[in-house]
Structure 1
């Protein structure tokens, strides 16, 4: 980050455009984190820069709803369309001589780190609803979520929350439901009250992409987080 004194060199300050609804989701990969967390909307914020990352006064902000099947790629395209009007609108306000803008409520602020390989490894103790959003959040061109099957990496390209409720141990390859293969999910899966993650499309370690029903030729065994 540039030294704060640089932000004050322009007579009217320095404007930044961030792809989240600040003060929430400051930092890195905000669209992906917001989708994983089930936020109902995402957006773009134009704010003045100060000595703290993404914490300056808000000049203009616009939001778009998150659809039930939206991927991170979809949200990227939705928010890209907001950048020009938000930026131009903010610059117009600054050019008009306005100097007082909306202070960020720091009690509502959250700051996220860069995503890494650990962030896309599936943890089967997560509820199926969260895992389904994780799969959508890691849509192409982002790296896909993955687990291990019989010691080999298996990318999960598409999945839905199962209609039925399935009990047992998280990660169990359990049942074919429609076009998907249900994996038991949730820390309390033993209760039988949870929906599972119905995987519909996968990519093998050697790059072959196929329907999950083609890959899983029999039920049983486990998908694991480690080889």
Structure 2
């Protein structure tokens, strides 16, 4: 069994690690160069590959030279674990037993980009990890295996991502022996029962104070550390909100009604901001910041 693995991030690291634990013969790894504009808090797939003496490339697998190399290896299976490039059909057709992707949701729900963040932002109570065959359409091929994880109301996206990573390893541990034996199931995916979401940019973290306190809280925990964060503006100054909690009460959207704790009006309920960061300054407890902000000031969209 010859394998080629495309992998990045913690899911890529842990799933490649699990394949190696099972004795898989990984002939080549494709990964990515780390971006200088991104906070790198996850483990290095390239370091793992090099430690095991596996050739590792950061060129796109879809480039002609890469495709030619894949053809020479003629892998039995190709895996994609949080690899960020869509793999073209001509590459997917090369592996004898198929090309499979590990997706960070319980498919067919939350197809597309950053599924963990979207699930938290949308207030879901569960998500998961799914191994499926790759086709031209993203996250649409037959399902091999999947594992659910719970999303607690106190979980941040980082907490959920760690749960999904463990679920991904569980799925690979169960599925690889079946794939190698040619006995793995193939469950057709019903896309009509699912959903699709696109990527998110830092600018998408802007808080809309007309939404409910729970919705804003979900945004905050969905993009808090190590992600770019939810933000608002106070008298033209950008304020990042890192921790918050919804509480009962009412006030005009964005209106500061109390400084200790820092309570802000929303479209429904109040949001208690617990830690924040004014642009260009360090993150602080909200009460310390609010001491200089009298009640009646208002957070705004710009």
TM-score by length of 2: 0.68
User: What whole-Å deviation, never above 9, does each CA across 1:28-75 have from its counterpart, x for those lacking one?
Assistant: 111000001111112110001111111001100001111121111111
1:99 shift after superposition: 6.1
1:207 shift after superposition: 1.8
Distance 1:64 1:149, change over 3 A: same
Distance 1:182 1:15, change over 3 A: same
**For the Cα contact (< 8 Å) 2:256–2:262, is it kept in 1?**
yes
- Out of 149, 154, 178, the position equivalent to 1:69 is 154
* 1:10 aligned partner: 95
Q: How many residues align?
A: 215
Gaps of 5+ in 2: 1-85
Backbone CA RMSD of aligned residues: 1.5
- Out of 115, 121, 133, the position equivalent to 2:200 is 115
Whether 2:160 is the aligned partner of 1:79: answer: no
5 Å-filtered alignment, 1:166-205, equals 166-167=250-251, 169-176=252-259, 180-186=261-267, 194-205=268-279
**For the Cα contact (< 8 Å) 2:202–2:229, is it kept in 1?**
no
1:100 shift after superposition: 4.8
* 2:281 aligned partner: 207
* 1:134 aligned partner: 219
* 1:221 aligned partner: 297
User: Distance in 1 between the 2:154 and 2:184 partners?
Assistant: 40
User: What whole-Å deviation, never above 9, does each CA across 1:203-225 have from its counterpart, x for those lacking one?
Assistant: 11122222212212321121011
More relative contact order, 1 or 2 (CA 8 Å, 6+ apart): 1
Structure 1 segments, 4+ long, off by >6 Å, are none
**For the Cα contact (< 8 Å) 1:159–1:180, is it kept in 2?**
no
